[in-house]
Structure formats: C-alpha cells, structure tokens
Amino acid sequence: MAHVLIAEARFYAHLNDMLLDGARGAIEAAGHSHETITVPGALELPGAVALAAESGNYDAFVALGVVIRGETYHFEIVAGESARGLMALTMDGLAVGNGILTVENEAQAIARANPKHANKGGGAAEAALALLELKSKLS
C-alpha cells in the first residue's frame, strides 16, 4: 500500500474541495492511504512537494489547485512556473500527478474539478499512482 501526499492550493477553496474529493476517492479506490497539506497558491505547490519528498514519508504526490485567467500576465507566470516546477520534480524521479487546473473562468473550473464530470483531481491521483507503479516496475 502506498502513502500519497495531496498538496493543495486553497486560493479557490470551493473549487479545490471538488478536486480533493476526486483525488481522495481515486487514492482510496486503489487501496492506498493519503494525507493532505495546504499551501496558499499554485506557485507554492512544487516547493511543498519537494519539502515533503525530503521527509521520505510519501510514495507519491498529487498537486491540486486552480489558476483562473485574469486581466494581467500573472496567469501565465503562475500556470507555467507551477507546471514547470512539478515537471522538474517528476524528472528527478518523484511520482507526481499535476492537478492544477488552468482555465479561463470559474465555469470551466467547475466542469473540470467536479468528480461527477471531468474529475481532474481523480485523474491527477491516478497519474501519480501510475508513475509510482512504473517506477516500481523499472527499479
């Protein structure tokens, strides 16, 4: 049984609740345990995963958050840098599922976060578990 860390950015709490429901459901359905930590926003997610990985207490990681396009360039920075940070951790050998939604508006976020629709939280958890399984097979 794997122990999975869900790192969530609570900037949009009502949207993240749906992502969390999906991720927890997928992890539990696969027979694994999980813990959740919270950070302020998506930019903090890669750092939180890196710090947690140093503990050696987790087998896989799921990063959850929502970035909604606004009127400034900030969207591109947050979306790009959070994804880049998570990808760097994956390339370093961590099993990380990226569940950071990057959307134009709240309606798109709701459709993607809702476990009864696109269930991107569940998908991110499944991706992390798939990478963990691949890592086990290859080692």
Model pLDDT for residues 30-85, shown as the tens digit of each residue: 999 999 999 999 999 999 999 999 999 999 999 999 999 988 888 999 999 999 99
Query: Could you give the number of structural domains in the chain?
Result: 1
For residue 109, the domain's CATH number is 3.40.50.960
pLDDT at 99: 98
Is 75 within any annotated ligand binding site?
no
The question of whether 74 is a catalytic residue gets the answer yes
Backbone phi, psi, residue 35, to 5°: -130, 160
pLDDT tens-place string over residues 2-39: 999 999 999 999 999 999 999 999 999 999 999 999 99
Is 98 within any annotated ligand binding site?
yes
Single-letter residue type at 95: A
pTM of the shown model: 0.97
- Give me the catalytic one of 3, 14, 74, 117: 74
Whole-angstrom distance, CA of residue 111 vs CA of residue 115:
9
Domain that holds residue 126: 3-138
Is 111 within any annotated ligand binding site?
no
Residue 101 scores a pLDDT above 90:
yes
